[in-house]
Amino acid sequence: MGRFRKKKHNASMNITSLMDVLTIMLLFLLKNYSADGSILTNADNLVLPNSESKKKPTEVNLQIAVTQDMILLDNQAVVPTEDARNISQEENDPIITKLEERLKVCLAQEEEMVRLGALNAVQGRVIVQVDKNIDFDVLFKIMNTCGKSGYNNMNFAVMERDDG
């Protein structure tokens, strides 16, 4: 009878090594933690170029994303990139009409907010995320359109190089 009596065992798992792993992970993640969140539009055909720039985007602004096939304004498709390519390169003052209309609406909104006192001044800031394989022609047309619509303060979004 005595052979079958259960021995009283204090079953406990040794979790010390697990704790080690978790502590290291916690430290690593805290180091990478950022409170301002990412503004990155993650798309397959939008790869930002690498740069040594260390300047951080300060606040949430209007965003234009230029992929190989679409131009997006605040994540809404506006006009196919092909349309921008089709504007003659000889044009002295190339304007992407649809984009300009949308930008003017945004600027009007900003002005309205200044009038209501929600903003101090019209900043006209825009962050442009351009795929690294876009040619300068399209980029220039977008820049010209932004400038003409009143968005004079442009920033290019780039990926920070991880090595120095």
Partner 1 sequence: MANKLKAPDVEPTDVDLKVFMNLMVVLIPMLIVSAEFASVAIIDIKLPEQRGSQTKSAVTEQPQEEKAEKLLLTAIITDSVVTLGAKGGFMPSLFYQEFHRYITREKDLDTLLEYTPGKMPNHPRTGRELTVHERFEIYLYTVEPETRNIIRSLYTKFGEMLTDADGIPVREVKAGDTVFALTNPRRRMIVTNPGDFESKPLSAYDELKNRLMKIKERYREAEDGEDIIIAAENEVIYDKIVQIMDAARNAEFPNISIAKLRG
Task: Please identify which residue in 40, 60, 77, 108 interacts with partner 1, judged by CB under 8 A.
Answer: 40
Cα–Cα distances in Å, from 55 out to 70, 88, 90?
A: 27, 35, 35
Smaller CB separation from partner 1, 2 or 37: 37
93 sits near partner 1 (criterion: CB under 8 A) = yes
Q: Which two tokens stand for residue 109?
A: 């909104």
Minimum distance from CB of 116 to partner 1 (Å)?
A: 28
Nearer to partner 1, 112 or 159 (CB): 159
Q: Single out the segment in contact with partner 1 by CB under 8 A; choices: 1-9, 48-56, 96-104, 106-114.
A: 48-56
Tell which positions 98-137 bind partner 1, by CB under 8 A: 127, 130-137
* Cβ nearer to partner 1, comparing 3 with 90: 90
Three-state DSSP state, 125: strand
Distance CA 27, CA 39 (A): 24
DSSP-derived secondary structure letter, 2: G
Instruction: Name the residue nearer to partner 1 (CB basis): 3 or 17.
Output: 17
**Four-residue CA torsion sign, 93, 96, 102, 103:** negative
